[in-house]
A and B are shown apart, each in its own frame.
Chain A
Amino acid sequence: GQQLNQSPQSMFIQEGEDVSMNCTSSSIFNTWLWYKQDPGEGPVLLIALYKAGELTSNGRLTAQFGITRKDSFLNISASIPSDVGIYFCAGPQRNYGGATNKLIFGTGTLLAVQP
């Protein structure tokens, strides 16, 4: 079945550093979603990508839809302590009829930022 592999599993960085994480799959996705989950809260949508090669920014966050449609990248520039959390990628699950209304989630990247 479809799977999303996220890496790295965890990152421990100093405040001010840039961060890069990625999500890969053996299957093609038509949409990539990036969420952030703060401790004890629900995931919040950060960026949605809908087109191969698309590069989209949201403040210090930049995400890219890989040209092969099998991967996506999320970069955070000049990290701050409130960037701490778990970052998930997600994409629509596909069946023989095409994209469904169910999402597949990556296993998450845990980010810790040292002030």
Chain B
Amino acid sequence: AQRVTQPEKLLSVFKGAPVELKCNYSYSGSPELFWYVQYSRQRLQLLLRHISRESIKGFTADLNKGETSFHLKKPFAQEEDSAMYYCALRGNNDMRFGAGTRLTVKP
């Protein structure tokens, strides 16, 4: 079965602190994973994808096939990072999302 798990519904950190949003997946094939973000009053949008292996807005995510994880990390959180974050897994033609984590970065 294709499944994405984000264990934390809420995450709160102070500005400048490191942040890690957890994502675990289950998929029998070769996974393709994404992180999407929804800022207040904006559309849900792509943040990054694992095949790009890039850093976007200071965020990185590494696919760990052994642990079936794709955690999102940023060394120094900023207030503008406060948003809803969704981890997603692409199957054959569909895209499955986790329940999401609401990140709040406090000043």
Q: A and B: partners?
A: no
Residues on B lying within 8 angstroms of A by beta carbon are none
Residues on A lying within 8 angstroms of B by beta carbon are none
